[in-house]
Amino acid sequence: MKTLSQTFRSIKRPIPNPKLSSSPTKSELKINDKPKSESWSVYLILSTNHPIKTYVGVTTNFPRRLKEHNGELKGGAKASRAGRPWICACIVCGFTNRSEACVFESKWKALSKRIPRKNQNDNDDSSQKSEDRSRTLLQHRQAALNRVKISLDCTNLEINWHLDPL
């Protein structure tokens, strides 16, 4: 039985390409592929300096991302420069891909904007104001998160609060 290249002389045998080998080298994995264990998460951070505020974002590596927000590594979001240092308030884990995490993040941010905020009391000293402001912001974000949980399927997600919003 003749091979295709013997029957049709114009067809040349494919030359094996080392870049397309079945087992990539370690350097190729580092450059081209992301690890299969990569898990997307959505996080909520709280500023610890004036102005007290919160920030919601998406990442696959929260410790690195927090260092970026705090200016320890290059790359934090411009919106998070004021209020440094930031601390972790909540992490939502278990997203299967970036798109799913981004939909969740977007919904959380949108619902946070729609929920009316409680008014602040200006009669207390400044340290008490910061604590009250932090608590109020966390409660506001938690209320929005509860609405997200109603509107999206969150059965596979793990929600970990690191700061108690109550």
- Helix (DSSP H) and strand (DSSP E) numbers for the chain: 5, 4
pLDDT in tens, 11-34: 444 444 444 444 444 444 444 444
Query: Could you please report the per-residue DSSP string of 135-165?
Result: HHHHHHHHHHHHHHHHHS--TT-EEEESS--
- What is the residue extent of each domain of the chain? 39-161
For residue 127, pLDDT over 80 is answered with no
Residues 56/59/61/67 CA torsion (nearest 10 deg): -50
pLDDT in tens, 74-83: 987 888 888 8
| Of 146, 44, 54, 34, nearest in space to 93 by CA | 44
**Angle 100-103-104 (CA atoms, 0-180°, nearest 5)?**
90
pLDDT at 14: 47
User: Is the previous residue joined to 51 through a cis bond, with omega within 30 degrees of 0?
Assistant: yes
CA distance 109 to 87: 18
Provide the angle, in degrees to the nearest 10, between the axes of the packed helices 98-114 and 126-151: 120
CA distance 73 to 64: 8
pLDDT at 146: 96
